[in-house]
Amino acid sequence: MITKSKTIDKFHVWTVGCQMNIADSQRVDVGLKRLGLDEEKNIEEADIIVLNTCVVRQSAEDTATGLLGKLAKQKRKKSTYICVTGCMVESTTKSLAQRFPHVDLWAKPQDTPKIIENIADYLNLSSDGCVENLIPEKSKFAEFVPIVQGCDKFCTFCVIPYRRGRETSKPTNQLFEEIKTLVDNGTKEVTLLGQNVDSYGHDLNPKKDLSDLMYLINDIDDLKRIRFLTSHPNDMSLRLIRTIKDLPKVCRSINLPFQAGSNRILANMRRGYTRDQFLRKIDQIKTIVPEATITTDLIVGFPGETERDFEDSLDILNRVKFDKVHVAAYSERKGTFAFRQIDDDIPMEEKRIRLNTVNQLQDKIQKKLNSKYLNKKFDVLVEGKNRDMYFGRTEGDKLVYLDDLDEKFIGEIIKTLITDYSPYSLNAEKI
């Protein structure tokens, strides 16, 4: 419902960080368009700016604070409205407000209604009907759907539980309706998101789990693929692994972070499992869903990580042979247990050496794994064009570059023959 009195204001939503932030920004975008605002691609031209921030890595936080500094100048020039949301926003915003007094609103992650209502007030608009059910009217063929917010695990290096709070699941029926609407609007693939997606539903009454949700949405006609991110080894149940095997639309692609290979470091990280328990979970997955691709997350240079501990991590990589490893050097995050209690005692140079060692090992492993795809046929969802090459993904989330394709296939699932490979991607032709 729009009761607008002034010239159309232009907004820009700036996003950094994980898929959860991308999904949140998309919902802010929908709400602002419902207020009658126009999107502006160039941040310098926008009247209303929403920054959706991330603090998981220092570099992401530095990018956001650097941009906030620049925006002070823009605000002085043209009275730009500035809202900051995402993981940079702490439970108390006093120190941030002192540091960045030109910010109009600090909104916690996923507090989209507050953002829309505050901007409506600022512009003297009514937000009636603008904050409910913020689903894009023209859906993209692949959409992220947050299903559980926050995390109860409190790993010692991670700031997420402090910024996103305890686990809170969206009701299953609400998610069914949301996903059905997305599919009616053109979506073919959904990625169910949670910081710990496998713990979905334990807080609902009656309790549900991720398998319940998957069974429900698997029946939506025209939905072709269901993905999910990110899993925790302790919450990946036998039922869930069987569901991945049994449901045709659930992609056989699993991201299961192990973070460290040494029991001593795992305990210091408070991950809640040992290396043997992690390896048993992998065995379970490989036994029940042998065709599954498995990716992981790994931190090198966690405080106190010795050469021997690091070799334990390499040993896990050599045993499991992951399809991809998201590896990061440990960096201190303010507010975490590790920041308060453990010295960051591994020099950056050593962390870089360990990063390189992991990357070199993974290159070899991935090249060998990808060589098995050569001359085989796969369905690929075409996602877009990068420079001169079209690209898409297999069910197993392998990035595929496609020769001689046409624009009209973007958003379609096509049959392909793999013609070449590298450690990072496959090449294919349409058949």
- Binding residues for ligand SF4, rule: CB under 6 A, are 151, 153-155, 158, 160-161, 195-196, 232
**Least Å from the CB of residue 281 to ligand SF4:** 15
Rounded to an integer, what distance in angstroms lies between the CA atom of residue 299 and that of residue 268? 13
**Least Å from the CB of residue 235 to ligand SF4:** 9
**Least Å from the CB of residue 337 to ligand SF4:** 10
80 or 230: CB nearest ligand SF4: 230
227 or 333: CB nearest ligand SF4: 333
Rounded to an integer, what distance in angstroms lies between the CA atom of residue 290 and that of residue 283? 9
166 or 376: CB nearest ligand SF4: 166
Provide the 8-state DSSP code for 199: G
3-state SS, residue 17? coil
Q: Which of 112, 185, 96 is nearest to 142 (CA)?
A: 185
**Least Å from the CB of residue 143 to ligand SF4:** 22
For residue 56, report the phi and psi dihedrals to the nearest 5 degrees.
Answer: -65, -40
Rounded to an integer, what distance in angstroms lies between the CA atom of residue 410 and that of residue 391? 9
Residue with structure tokens 């009209």? 408
25 or 196: CB nearest ligand SF4: 196
40 or 152: CB nearest ligand SF4: 152
302 or 391: CB nearest ligand SF4: 302
Instruction: Tell me which H or E stretch contains 212.
Output: helix 210-218
Query: Is the previous residue joined to 230 through a cis bond, with omega within 30 degrees of 0?
Result: yes
Q: Kindly state the tokens that stand for 132.
A: 């409910």
Please answer whether residues 138 and 43 qualify as being in contact, where contact means their C-beta atoms are separated by less than 8 angstroms: no
**Least Å from the CB of residue 97 to ligand SF4:** 26
CA distances 389 to 100, 146, 404, 409, 410, Å, are 42, 30, 8, 13, 12
**Least Å from the CB of residue 204 to ligand SF4:** 19
